[in-house]
Amino acid sequence: MKTMVISAHPCLEQSRANQAMSRELKRYEDISFRDLYAEYPDWTIDVKHEQNLLLQVDRVVLQFPFYWYSSPPLLKKWLDDVLTYGWAFGSGGDNLKGKEFIIATTAGGTENSYRAGGENLYTVSEMLRPIERTLTKCGITYLPAFVTYNANAGSESYLAEEAIRYAAYIHEPSEALVL
């Protein structure tokens, strides 16, 4: 299975959690890793290039920090620009049909803070619903999100363990993830 990870962290060099995840993934030849903020510093997204890259893979992982209960703005722009009517959805827009997508996100808060009655009132999965629906409208297979909680305060060993768990997660067959 060909997997492409699209990282969208506005300050990747300052994120211990996302750096650990990125380092771990770069060890695998079957995963292509891309940094949107490095590739598009002027925010001018090459839509045809991005669409072509999507056609070449079976699974796409969107990796980003949980940023004000959503994704960082460049990833939102990427979704808006790349997933176009007639290509990704709508009449003739079936290019992503059957492809698998996973969201991988890091949250500064604890897992308990992301639950009904917790500090953030909702689970991360509930807060990711708009992105999930955007993707499912394109006919993709949306797989459960991978979340690293307590990313800001986590020790280096915790973040390294999470990175290993992350790499294992995105290598799992879809059937194992939806049990």
Query: For residues 10 and 106, is the Cβ–Cβ distance under 8 A?
Result: no
**Cβ neighbourhood burial of 133 (10 Å; 0-12, 13-18, 19+):** exposed
Confidence (pLDDT) at 68:
86
Q: In this model, does residue 178 exceed pLDDT 90?
A: no
pLDDT digits (tens, 9 = 90+) for 111-155: 889 898 889 898 999 999 999 999 999 999 999 999 999 888 889
Confidence (pLDDT) at 60:
98
Who contacts 11 (Cβ-Cβ below 8 Å, separation ≥6)? none
Confidence (pLDDT) at 9:
92
Tell the residue number behind the tokens 């290039």, with chain if given.
Answer: 49
Confidence (pLDDT) at 11:
85
| Class of the domain covering 3-177 | alpha beta
SS3 content of the chain, % helix, strand, coil (to 5): 40, 20, 40
pLDDT digits (tens, 9 = 90+) for 17-67: 988 999 999 999 999 999 999 999 999 999 999 999 999 999 999 999 998
Who contacts 14 (Cβ-Cβ below 8 Å, separation ≥6)? none
How crowded is residue 18: how many other Cβ atoms within 10 Å of its Cβ?
A: 26
